[in-house]
Amino acid sequence: MYMYSASDSLIADETLLQKKSVKFSDQNIGFKFVMADTTEIKNHVSQKRPVLAKSLMDSSEPEPSSRVLVIYTGGTIGMKTNDNGVYEPKEDFLVNKLRTLPMFHDREYANTHFAGDEEDFLVMPHQKGRRVMYKIMEYKPLLDSSNMMMTDWGHIATDLFEHYDQFDGFVVLHGTDTMAYTASALSFMCENLGKTIILTGSQIPIFEVRSDGRDNFLSSLIMAGLYNIPEVLVCFDNKILRGSRTIKNDAGSFSAFISPNLPPIATLEIRIHVDWSAVFRATGTEKFRVHTNMCQNVGLLRMFPGITTQTVRAFLQPPMQGVVLQTYGAGNAPDNRPDLLNVLKEASNIGVVIINITQCTKGCVMTSYATGKALEDAGVICGGDMTPEAALTKLSYVLSKETWTLDKKRKFMKRNLRGEMTVVAKENITILDFELIESVARALSVSSTEEIKKLRDALYPSLMCAAAQTGDNQALEKLRTLGGNLSSHNHDGRTALHVACREGHVTTVQYLLHQGASVHLKDSNGITPLQDAVMGKHHSIIRLLVKTGAILTIKPIVLAMELCCAAATEEIETLQAYRAAGANMNECDYDKRTPLHVAVDTGSKRSVHFLLDSGVSWMFEDMFGNTALDCARKRNATEIIEMIEQKERQLAANGENGT
């Protein structure tokens, strides 16, 4: 395919070159550099414009790929037996071994296609026509998870934050012993999450003959790379569980984790099935951020018959700020022990936050018994069906919010923040309520619930895209209440958000973001909602998406081509749209020519003016050694030279320079 280069218009196009008479040579690169007439170049670039739209969708990589960051913290998965015959993590062992295994690294593909920073990446054989490229960040020292502290959660969260924009998804390799704690903690620490984070590990090291590690790791890479489930998840034994619902249940089984109060979010069998209706999505228009300073003055207290008041009092002593009380059955503690209840009440009165959860693996705290009601009266907060790990880490997170009042902290402990607790039973919606599906089902003689469900899954995404196209929020809301997933995509991978962004329906975009639609989803051509908004030049939507954390993901070279073309043809609105989307307006093309070079060479004064106003530099040298200012001088473009010099004077007056 033809790829545009801004300087093609000056150098490579024979028809233009041969007609010109003013010539000079650039000895360094051996090109015969011919000055073309500005209008002619402009026309030439305009003709090439349609090719650009296509090039935007093409990738210079041979196969579309997703990038996953693997944060390797330790655990059995990468361990080796030491001289004493016990398992121990070993530096660099995992990554070096993985490079030799074809399932984990397609060496031939990497040797042919990877260069520069990509050399650190491993690449999986392709899945569903896509490659998952992944990079392993190994922690030093690698830890058995029993040695992990709350500060280690902070390190992981910080690394997730720092690499959030560069990767499509994340895998955390972790020991199984405290994985449920880390997964729960990370789910609270990661605020406004829009990408998939999966924790996994194994019961037997990955390089032993019998190991669960290979499947767990491969499944996690596939899910993090190819599916957008914007949650912190645990992948184990072919199941994807919500991190904050998970507990380690079996020390000796490959099926070590369970999620007692919530079915798996996905199952990996012959087919991968994701229950999209169960996916928890952050709502609103705020960017991803992490909260790392967790409160350490929290504890878990398990009731047992005859527990003494002294034990409970000692446990609740300062500096304790929050306690998870594990009670019997549906949240009961003795109501014939006023001594005990008084201690709890006193602690609660002086500001200790006490949460009531059940000791049972499954089920939830209710106040249907007098024994449970007594605790509520003592100021103990109902923790619903939270796991001990989720309740403890939620408490640690909520208590560390320095700007929140105690009242707010108590309120937030009762709220479902990340899908960690069941607040209300799901409405019993039947898809047959929706007349359209019903009549289509009739016409197709479809009657079983399973078939109707499949029909709904096939029709809803298209209906949602159609509603988004006309900005029909009511229709979207109706589809949602009928059980539709607003982030589902049509045959082209396009979601309602893509469509609304392209069409410029700002209230629809707002509605979708508040319903948890992800700004990071790419359609089958790799286009994100932000790219759609840029193509539609919808400035308020661009601002809203950027505020929500969207970033431009198009390749720098493609961006350069777009900007150079817009600069050459004075499409100021396009330049404005890219600038608002956070594009680097100095991005240079194959010949290292910036949009300003092209604007100068095409005599596009409005573009020059806009670019200078956007703070671009006129001092970058292209491959031929010319800065944009050199180009203006060679062309004797006095007005443009004056514009640049004026900008230079303006910057100098402010103590800055234009380089």
Which amino acids are annotated catalytic?
76, 176
78 binds ligand ASN (CB under 6 A): no
Q: Which residue is nearest to ligand ASN (CB)?
A: 175
Window contacting ligand ASN (CB under 6 A); options: 173-181, 400-408, 542-550, 610-618: 173-181
175 binds ligand ASN (CB under 6 A): yes
145 binds ligand ASN (CB under 6 A): yes
Shortest separation between residue 212's beta carbon and ligand ASN, angstroms: 9
176 binds ligand ASN (CB under 6 A): yes
Q: How far apart are CA 249 and CA 481, in angstroms?
A: 35
203 binds ligand ASN (CB under 6 A): yes
Nearer to ligand ASN by Cβ, of 143 and 533: the residue is 143
Q: How far apart are CA 48 and CA 9, in angstroms?
A: 10
144 binds ligand ASN (CB under 6 A): yes
Shortest separation between residue 174's beta carbon and ligand ASN, angstroms: 7
216 binds ligand ASN (CB under 6 A): no
Q: How far apart are CA 285 and CA 191, in angstroms?
A: 12
Shortest separation between residue 401's beta carbon and ligand ASN, angstroms: 29
Nearer to ligand ASN by Cβ, of 200 and 326: the residue is 200
Q: How far apart are CA 165 and CA 611, in angstroms?
A: 26
Which phi and psi (to 5°) does residue 210 adopt? -100, 110
Edge to edge, what strands does the sheet with 196-200 contain? 122-123, 131-143, 65-74, 169-173, 196-200, 232-236, 239-242, 266-268, 272-274
For ligand ASN, the binding residue among 34, 41, 69, 75 (CB under 6 A) is 75
Nearer to ligand ASN by Cβ, of 229 and 241: the residue is 241
CA distances from 523 to 489, 507, 533, 577 (A): 8, 22, 14, 20
3-state secondary structure of 133: strand
Window contacting ligand ASN (CB under 6 A); options: 139-147, 350-358, 452-460, 464-472: 139-147
Shortest separation between residue 180's beta carbon and ligand ASN, angstroms: 11
Which phi and psi (to 5°) does residue 198 adopt? -120, 130
Nearest-5° angle of CA 397, CA 399, CA 403?
105
Q: How many binding residues for ligand ASN (CB under 6 A)? A: 11
Window contacting ligand ASN (CB under 6 A); options: 73-81, 117-125, 258-266, 303-311: 73-81
Contact positions with ligand ASN (CB under 6 A) in 402-431: none
Please indicate if the annotation marks 177 as binding a ligand.
Answer: yes
Reported as type and span, the H/E element at residue 155 is helix 150-163
Shortest separation between residue 48's beta carbon and ligand ASN, angstroms: 56
540 binds ligand ASN (CB under 6 A): no
Window contacting ligand ASN (CB under 6 A); options: 68-76, 365-373, 392-400, 614-622: 68-76
603 binds ligand ASN (CB under 6 A): no
Please indicate if the annotation marks 176 as binding a ligand.
Answer: yes
201 binds ligand ASN (CB under 6 A): yes
Nearer to ligand ASN by Cβ, of 56 and 172: the residue is 172
Contact positions with ligand ASN (CB under 6 A) in 299-328: none
Q: How far apart are CA 48 and CA 15, in angstroms?
A: 14
Shortest separation between residue 144's beta carbon and ligand ASN, angstroms: 4
Q: How far apart are CA 300 and CA 180, in angstroms?
A: 15
Q: How far apart are CA 199 and CA 103, in angstroms?
A: 20
Buried residues in 387-417 as b, exposed as e (16+ CB within 10 A)? bbbbbbbbbbbbbbeeeeeeeebbebbeeeb
Reported as type and span, the H/E element at residue 327 is strand 322-327
Find out whether 467 and 475 touch, Cβ atoms under 8 Å: yes
Shortest separation between residue 203's beta carbon and ligand ASN, angstroms: 5
The single-letter DSSP state of residue 344 is H
Q: How far apart are CA 45 and CA 593, in angstroms?
A: 14
Q: How far apart are CA 235 and CA 366, in angstroms?
A: 30
Window contacting ligand ASN (CB under 6 A); options: 143-151, 231-239, 409-417, 427-435: 143-151
The strand pair at 79-81 and 87-89 is best described as antiparallel
146 binds ligand ASN (CB under 6 A): yes
Nearer to ligand ASN by Cβ, of 180 and 521: the residue is 180
Sign of CA pseudo-dihedral 614, 619, 621, 626: positive
Shortest separation between residue 79's beta carbon and ligand ASN, angstroms: 8
Q: How far apart are CA 293 and CA 318, in angstroms?
A: 19
Nearer to ligand ASN by Cβ, of 146 and 449: the residue is 146
* Binding-site residues for substrate: 145, 176-177
- Per CB under 6 A, residues contacting ligand ASN are 74-76, 144-146, 175-177, 201, 203
* Binding-site residues: 145, 176-177
